[in-house]
Structures are given as C-alpha cells and as structure tokens.
Amino acid sequence: MSQLPEYLRYATSAAPRQESIVTCGSVRITVITDRLIRLEQGVFADDATLAVIRRDFGECVPQIRQEGAVTVIDTGMLEIRCDGTLENLTIRRDATPGFLWHFGQKP
C-alpha cells in the first residue's frame, strides 16, 4: 500500500493545552472550549482520533476550586463537579437552555 502524498496530509495536534487539563482521582477532564469537554478514566491518551484531530482550540483556561472532596471546574458556560469518579460527575449549564447532566444519563 502506498503512502498518502505529502500535500494531502494534515498535521494533527491532539495534545491538549496543559492549563486545560484537570485530574480528579482516576478521572481526567480536559476543557477543550467553554462548551466542549473530554472525559477520560484510567489510562489517558492524547492521540488524534478520526473524530478529533486537534484539541488545542485556543485559550480556554477554566477556573478550578475545591469544595470539600469535590473539584469544581467552571468554564464560563459549564460547571463540572467531580469527586474523583465518573459515577458522581455532573455537568451543569445555567444559561438558557439550562441543564444538569449526570454521567451515564441518556439524552
């Protein structure tokens, strides 16, 4: 099988910005934009996928605080709460239309 010609290759940049990564127990939360979040548990990978070939969409530095055992990440649009496991992770949006999503919840 021949290789793809150089002019058809697209440079990937799958590694996220380090200031956008929050590790909470066994969960890694990457804030890609103020509305786009990547959740991983266990082994973390920064490889490009067919769906996402770039994870650096520009500056988006979340505000991070601790409330007891819960890490709270505020992106300006979303509030993510994590106690170190995906099972108790929630994402909330107050702007219209607002929502409160629990990990595993079907749309």
**Section 13-39 average pLDDT:** 87
Question: DSSP label at 19?
Answer: G
pTM of structure: 0.80
- The candidate with the shortest Cα–Cα distance to 52, out of 14, 87, 89, is 14
Q: pLDDT for 32-59, tens place per residue?
A: 889 989 898 988 877 777 766 666 667 7
Sheet with 37-41, edge to edge strand ranges: 21-24, 27-31, 37-41
**Local confidence band at 11 (pLDDT 50, 70, 90 cut-offs):** confident
> Above pLDDT 90, what percent of the chain?
48
